[in-house]
Amino acid sequence: MAKVNITQIIDCWLQSCMQREKLSRNTIAVGIVVLHHLRQKCPLTEAEVFSKGGELIGARSTLPKTLAEYGVPPKFLKEATNRQVAPFARKLFESLDWGKALKTLSKSDREAAIAPATARLASLALEWMGRQHLKVSCDRQHSPVAWIGSILEQAKGRSGGKVEQHLVGAKLEKRFPSAQIHNNAGHAGDVQTGRAGDFALGTTVYHVTAAPARAVIEKCRTNLAAGLHPVLLVPRTAVSKAVHVAEADELDKRITIVAIEDFIALNIVEMSEGNDAEFVQTLKNIVIVYNRRLGEVETDMSLKIEIE
């Protein structure tokens, strides 16, 4: 393997794993974990690196410790949870032939052969962490709907729905200051957190998603069976899809489906009138809460918002 450029193999693998021309934290972390396994032992068998359930060993609870070993701050990613983690890891192991060509090297030589590739991945991780915040220029000639739409447009492909969720949470916190608006990480499932949805106020349950699918409609069905009223919040461009999915389950007349842009913008207008404040100032106040909530539970601080 000394004659094989492992970094080159890593670059080809990264290229094959890109989605919408973007590289995710999960992919970078998976590469580091795979190389970490090969650094410890070569060659490897599938049973040694994948659990009986098919998960990549080392991609969850011990991930922060592994990342730190290669100079990547543990906050880069708490655990690799993307559904592509195992397939991507297996693909990389296969590209490296499970480390068979490394077996004749001493441990120090093996580590030296792998080091440039891990350094490459660590560099990508640090570069990823240095990404700029979402920056929004609020043209006073435009409406609050346009401002929120601009934020969501910038978040496409970056947030996995986190921006949408925390914007709604911030808006609810500002609108209902005496209520307890729970704050959970974007990857935290409703079942594992014991929630009826992303947010709940009285008998109303809010579900926030950037990509409505049948799974969220089933959650709404569960809410209805429990005597709760589900409100499904999606980007304006996804409203028709959400309605279509709900119609397929004959729930479109029982679920309130609203565009996130409208949901937040209407409250900006109402709260501004109530406080005799400019729309932009009200949005800035919501963004302050958004940034605080994001910082409390997420690891990707590039998703913070700056109003210019």
Same domain, 149 and 214: yes
pLDDT in tens, 51-71: 999 999 999 999 999 999 999
Contact 229, 196 (CB under 8 A): no
Same domain, 159 and 123: no
Q: Residue 254's pLDDT is what?
A: 97
Q: Residue 20's pLDDT is what?
A: 62
Determine how many CB atoms are found less than 10 A away from the CB of residue 231. 22
Same domain, 173 and 98: no
Angle, nearest 10°, between helix axes 85-95 and 6-17?
150
N-term to C-term CA, the chain? 51
Question: Domain residues for 80?
Answer: 6-129
For the entire predicted model, the pTM comes to: 0.68
Q: Residue 3's pLDDT is what?
A: 59
Q: Is residue 138 part of a domain?
A: yes
What's the whole-number mean pLDDT along residues 276-305? 91
Contact 36, 58 (CB under 8 A): yes
pLDDT in tens, 166-225: 999 999 999 999 999 999 987 665 444 457 899 999 999 999 999 999 999 999 999 999
Which of 39, 9, 35, 296 lies closest to 173, judged by CA? 296
What is the overall mean pLDDT for the chain?
91
Residue 132 three-state SS: coil
- Verify cis geometry, omega within 30 degrees of 0, for the bond prior to 235: no
pLDDT in tens, 252-265: 999 999 999 999 99
Which of 243, 55, 259, 222 lies closest to 144, judged by CA? 259
Q: Is residue 1 part of a domain?
A: no
Same domain, 267 and 175: yes
Q: Residue 14's pLDDT is what?
A: 94
Residue 240 three-state SS: helix
Q: How far is CA 164 from the centre of its chain?
A: 11
